[in-house]
Every structure is written in C-alpha cells, then in structure tokens.
Amino acid sequence: MKHLTYILVIFWTGLLQSQVEFTANVSRDRIAVNERLRIEFKMNVDGDNFTPPDFVGFQKVSGPSQSFTQSWINGKGSMTKSYTYILQPIKTGKLKIAQAVMTFQGNEYKTIPQEINVTGAVSQPKDPDDQSITADDGIHLVAEISNSNPYLNEAIRVVYKIYVDYDLDISLPIELDTPKYRDFWSQNIDNRNPQMRNGFYQGEPYRYFVWREAILYPQKTGTLEIEPMTLRVNVEVPTNLRDPFGKPYMITETKIVSADKRSINVKDLPLAGRPPSFTGAVGDFDFEVSADRVQLDAGESLTAKVQVSGSGNLKLMELPKLSVPQSLEIYEPERVNKVSTTINGMRGNIADQYTIVPQFGGKYVIPPVEFSYFDPEKEKYITKNSGEMMLMVEGDAPVNAATATASTPANKNQISATEPFAFIKTKTNLEPVNRSYFFNSTTYWSVIGGSLLLLPLVLILRGQREKRQADVVGNRLRRANKLSKKYLSAAKKNLGDHEQFYISLEKSLHNYLKSKLNIQTAEMSKERVDQLLEERGANAEVRAEFVALLASCEFARYTPSSEASMKEDYDKAGQVLNSIDKQIKK
C-alpha cells in the first residue's frame, strides 16, 4: 500500500503538471521604435508569485493589467488568469523579452522568451490594440516555386499558400487579380477542398492551406515574371472584450493580401551534344514503333503506331515522322492523346497512328525511327531508336517494264515503238436502228401522266419554301449553323496560325450556340450556357467539356501552343459538338 500511494502521488502530480499552461503572447513581433506593443502573460491555473521579466530595451508604458475568468461547461470547470503590459522600445534592433515566472503547487513555471524586431520610426505609428495590425500580421499569401532556374520546357510547380495566425479565422478568399502566366504553357490544378495544416512562416508557427496550384512550362528563355496574385479575405479578429465564459468577442475585417511577383530564370537547352533528331521534347520518356500486324495480303491495311510515353512536355512536342518504301501507300497520321496533368506535370502517352496499305506482295523493311529528348535531371540528351520493322505481304510482286513485255501473251494488244496506236480498232460493225415515233407512244403518255402527278408535289414544295422564307428566326438559326461550320473549317485551315486558329474556333462555338440554343453573343456567360444545355437535355460531362472548351479558347489566345495542341483542341471541338447534337432535345 505504501508503494501504491507513492505511485498515485507521482501520477497525479505529473498529470497536474502536464495540464498547466503558462504562455506569453505579443500583439506584434515587428514594430517601429516609435510604436507600442502589448504582451500578455496567460495561465490556466491560479498561479502564485508571478514575476514579470525586466523588459530590457523597452519602456513600460502601462501595466500590469490583471484579468481573471472562470467558466463551467458540461460539468467541467476552466479558468484563465492573465497579466497584460503595454511596452515601447527605446532602441532599434532585435530585442528579447525574457521569461516570466510563476509557481503553482510548489512547482515553478516559465514562459518562452519573445523576440521583437524593432525598426526605425514611422510617420504614422499604430496603437497596439488596433486590430488591423493583428490581421495584417496574421495572414500572408505566399507563392512557392519548385524551381526558379528551369530549362526551356521543363515543368515547374507554383503553389499559392495562405498562412493564418492561430488566433484568426478567415473565410474562403475571392481572387481580385489572377496571374496570366505569360510566356508559359500553364494548367491550374483543381483544389476545391482546401484543408488547414500546421506549418511555419518565417520561423513562426502558423496554420496554412493551399489556395491554388499550377503547372508551368516556360516557352521562352531568359528572365520571365510570374504576376502577383491578389485576394480579398474576410478575417475574424479577436478583441479585448470577452463574453461571460471568458471567450473574446470577434469582429470581421476585410483584408487585401497579395503574393509578391516572382522571377524565373529560364535556361536554354544546351547546344553541345544536341542530336539532329531532337524536336523539343523535355522530360523522361520511352519510345516505340509498333504495328498491329506484320503479315497480310496485298491490298489489306495495317496500323503502325509511333508512340512516346512518360513524363514531360507531351502536349508541346512533335513526334518523329514514319517513312515507308514507295510500294506502300501511307495516309496522314491520326493523333491519339492520353495525357493527364497533375501537380507533378504532364504524364501519359501520345501517339501518331498511320494507316499503311501495301499494293503488291513481297518483303518490305520499314526503316528505323529515331527519337531524342533532353532529360533535365541528368542534364543531357538521350536518343532512342525503334529498329527496323519487317512486313511480309502475300500477293503478286511488282514487275518492271521489260518483265511485263516478255510475259505478255501473243494474242494481247501490244504497243511497239513503230506502231504506238496499232491496238486501236479502225473497222466497225454497225447495225441500223429501227425508226419509231415518240408522239402517242407509251413513253409519251407516261411523261404526260407523270407531269400531272408531280404538280401537287411541286405545289407542296413551293408552300414549304415560302413558309421557310417567312420563318425569320429559323433562317437566322440556319445561317448561324452554316457560319459555325464555316468557322470550324476556317479553324482547320489556320492550324499553323495560333491566333487566327483560336479566333476562328471561338467564333464557331458562339455561332453553334446561336444555332442550337437561340442565344445571342451578349448572353453567352458560362453559367447561362451551362443552364441552357442542361434544360435541353445535355448531360453534365458534355456540358462541362463544352464550357471548358470555351474557356480554353479564351485562355489559349494569350498562351503559346504547338500545332499538336491546336489539332487536339480542333478534334475535341468536333467531338463535343457531335455529342451535344446527339443529346439535346430538338
């Protein structure tokens, strides 16, 4: 029993000690020499023998102001006891407020020393109880760059973090100024459910959450700038007034926070060791050339695929071309894009699929294809070779002119050098045609009867034509539909011209909306378009794709892009319009 009593005493003593909190809180850790700050020493027990520090480097303006609160919630009691001082520095530099001391149940407790950075005098000193100071010092928007010295077309990550003091609460911000990322290919990463985490800002503990993340691929070398982001935030700031339960009253203030402009120094890709087959691929890739079949008959088709997979600037690169022998007929390739963009950059694969048709039988060798890329991690060029591909084609082999002449039978028409037109027949066997009259014949009456039967049909068609001409709204919609097809065709012709392509594509989408939704250009907000498509029966996925396509056109006009990216947007536009045509109600 004696040992058990000792154990219980030690246990409860340790428990009481672990529950004791004694802290020092300053209103600001950075002030001017002609400003004042407030420091509060707070304990959650009724401690004795409170001894404040000497406040070396500061003049005590007022204090201590003592406060004592006690509350009971769900049968559990809590209390707070505090001593507050107003101080003014008497010199500049980094000053330290030493530890305060108090005792409780025979044990001594000390606060953590506080470091204050004192700068030169300001023209308008602020009061230590000014809550705007707390809000300004307690919320920070920071743009963190993963790599400020990347290579051309190397992915970098931009993360916008909002750091919030533990004493403050904020609502979701509203963006006032959004970066355009000029001279970068960019894609924002969705972050709809930001979660608070614990972290440090300038060495001080803060809560923070990620507001936005973006992946950037620089398209120019030299010093590029990332524009600042500006947010408007509603901040819940504590006051010196407290409710009956000891909790401080809060007030709401609106604050504007901004992330500083950031500079990125983009390095050009090295010229030394650059292979002739390099076309701008930057990352880490695998390369292969494959065919769905290597044995077939003459006249049949096969599909050959040139594919690059891995991580890097997949949407911004050009694939090497596939060349084949002249006896093989090859068609323009179809681009297949399976690329996803995450916070780590583009990842997936792109491929050009060629349709090849051999005209004759035989054995054909497709030459090897070479692909080169720059690996920024290894800082060197890497070249990969697909190797030769052998095709076995069953059927007649091609013959030359001498072989054809030698193998031609004697009873066939042959062309010689002296009689080039000897094979043309000059004698005919013509027979006279029996003469008959058209009038009063069966054909004559058939034509007369058919004309009478066609008269009602002509009248019906004429009535429909007049009705169509009178339909002003319908004619306008039909004209808009024709314009949409016209501009989509113009967009295809402008695939090499970045600005004209996206202007034509955007006009096509607008005229399509006029045709299908009877909506004017002035009404074409994304929310209105989404609402009308939903009312006409389009599903959520197709609506989202169409709205995203509109936004992509607006954004892409100010962002460099490759011909492959334009081709992808053109194909996507055709697929989206086709999907909407199938779903919406007429």
Render pLDDT for 278-314 as a digit per residue (tens, 0 to 9).
Answer: 999 999 999 999 999 999 999 899 999 999 999 999 9
DSSP 432: P
pLDDT of 462 above 90 = no
Alpha-carbon gap, residue 29 to 123, rounded angstroms:
19
Q: Residue 38's domain is classified under what CATH number?
A: 2.60.40.10
Q: Residue 241's domain is classified under what CATH number?
A: 2.60.40
The mean predicted confidence, pLDDT, of the chain is 80
Q: How many domains does the chain have?
A: 4
Residue 275 lies in a domain: no
pLDDT at residue 218, as a whole number: 94
Please check whether residues 176 and 107 belong to one and the same domain.
Answer: no
pLDDT at residue 585, as a whole number: 67
Q: Residue 294's domain is classified under what CATH number?
A: 2.60.40.740
pLDDT at residue 255, as a whole number: 85
- Per-residue pLDDT reduced to its tens digit, 219-234: 999 999 998 888 988 8
Please check whether residues 221 and 298 belong to one and the same domain.
Answer: no
Alpha-carbon gap, residue 372 to 389, rounded angstroms:
19
pLDDT at residue 460, as a whole number: 85
Domain boundary among 101, 126, 151: 126
Count other Cβ atoms within 10 Å, centred on residue 294. Answer: 15
Domain boundary among 394, 420, 446: 394
Q: Which amino acid is at 546?
A: F
pLDDT of 204 above 50 = yes
pLDDT of 413 above 60 = no
Please check whether residues 207 and 314 belong to one and the same domain.
Answer: no
Domain boundary among 126, 143, 162: 126
Tokens of 568: 């992808």
Answer yes or no: are the C-beta atoms of 528 and 572 closer than 8 Å: no
Please check whether residues 256 and 142 belong to one and the same domain.
Answer: yes
pLDDT of 559 above 70 = no
pLDDT of 15 above 50 = no
- Per-residue pLDDT reduced to its tens digit, 360-403: 999 999 999 999 999 999 999 999 999 999 999 998 866 543 33
Answer yes or no: are the C-beta atoms of 168 and 236 closer than 8 Å: yes
Please check whether residues 122 and 28 belong to one and the same domain.
Answer: yes
Q: Residue 509's domain is classified under what CATH number?
A: 1.20.120
pLDDT at residue 141, as a whole number: 92
Task: Say if pTM beats, i.e. exceeds, 0.75.
Answer: no
Residue 415 lies in a domain: no
The residue range of the domain holding 165 is: 134-266
Compute, in degrees rounded to 10, the torsion defined by CA atoms 340, 341, 347, 350: 50
State the distance between the two ends of the chain, measured CA to CA, in whole angstroms: 90
Residue 312 lies in a domain: yes
Q: Which residue has the higher pLDDT, 251 or 345?
A: 345
pLDDT of 422 above 50 = no
Residue 435 lies in a domain: no
Judged by average pLDDT, the poorest of 56-70, 285-299, 524-538, 554-568 is 554-568
Q: Which residue has the higher pLDDT, 310 or 577?
A: 310
Mean pLDDT of 463-468: 79
pLDDT of 54 above 50 = yes
Mean pLDDT of 550-558: 70
Please check whether residues 571 and 479 belong to one and the same domain.
Answer: yes
Residue 167 lies in a domain: yes
Half-sphere exposure of 326 (CA within 13 A, CB side): 1
Residue 195 lies in a domain: yes
DSSP 536: T
Please check whether residues 140 and 121 belong to one and the same domain.
Answer: no
Tokens of 11: 């246990």
Residue 328 lies in a domain: yes
Residue 460 lies in a domain: no
